[in-house]
Amino acid sequence: MKNVLFVLTSHEDLGNTGHKTGFWIEEFATPYYLLKDKGVKITIASPKGGQPPIDPKSASSDFETESTKRFASDKETQEILAKTVQLETVNHSDFDAVFYPGGHGPLWDLAEDKNSIALIESFYTSNKPVAAVCHAPAVFKHTKNTDGSSLVNGKKVTGFTNSEEEAVQLTSIVPFLVEDMLQKNGGIYSKGQDWTPYAVEDGQLITGQNPASSELVAELLLQKLS
């Protein structure tokens, strides 16, 4: 049985707007069920441990999918989610891959989290898949190769686009733009049409553009694992 680590944000404040953020349900639920239904064992971690914040918007009927509906009635998974493992206690050697769901939260905590940065670098140098979708490629802001260069330098990547951020009117609220950061770090950034499924694979790195891309990312990760 393959073991995959899911890492979720612990950050809930949407800048200084007074609104809440967190992780986006679709980006967690779709990959979670796709992998779980194939017999993959999943452990969920977050920087603070315990219940990670759910972006309230992602629970609205506007963003409902089969997997979010399944999650809403899945008490077992909700209970597992309420008891996420503290990130600093996690060892990469216990897992075959790591997956980062998005939501705006990771821009504030996971992008800067020393434990997350070290974990990604350990997975990558051990030749294990590292996957991230939507805003979660923010986690590559400070990750490095063994030679000190940015982990995404010269690699094909994608993530939430500047135009998608503009569409949700958060360009001036977020600490940085995912598209800009990936390019600044030397990533070979590409994207599909806004809000359509688009994912990129380069070696052990798998990235997806937006919530609609979460299934694609999970399928690519599953292929890597098998």
Q: Dihedrals φ, ψ of 78, to 5°?
A: -60, -40
- The DSSP bridge partners found for residue 132 are 100, 207
pLDDT tens for 8-46 read 999 999 999 999 999 999 999 999 999 999 999 999 999
Residue 13 has what pLDDT?
Answer: 97
- Phi then psi dihedrals of residue 106, to 5 deg: -55, -25
Residue-wise pLDDT tens digits, 60-69: 999 999 999 9
Query: How confident is the model over 152-191, as pLDDT tens digits?
Result: 999 999 999 999 999 999 999 999 999 999 999 999 999 9
In this prediction, residues 182-205 reach a mean pLDDT of 98
Task: Please give the full DSSP string across 43-77, using - where no structure is assigned.
Answer: EEEESS-BPPPBPGGGGSGGG--HHHHHHHT-HHH
> Pick from 71, 84, 11: which is nearest to 44 by CA?
84
> What is d(CA 37, CA 6) in angstroms, rounded to the nearest whole number?
15
For residue 199, the tally of other CB atoms under 10 A from its CB is 23
Q: Which of 152, 204, 197 is nearest to 179 (CA)?
A: 152
Sequence letter at residue 133: V
Interior angle at CA 161, CA 105 and CA 102, nearest 5: 25
End-to-end CA distance of the chain: 10
Q: What average pLDDT does the chain have?
A: 97
Adjacent-strand bridge partners of 23: 54
User: Which residue, 206, 77, 220, 47, is CA-closest to 134?
Assistant: 206
pTM over 0.75: yes
Is residue 46 within 8 Å of residue 82, measured between CB atoms? no
| CA-wise closest residue to 221 among 101, 112, 56 | 101
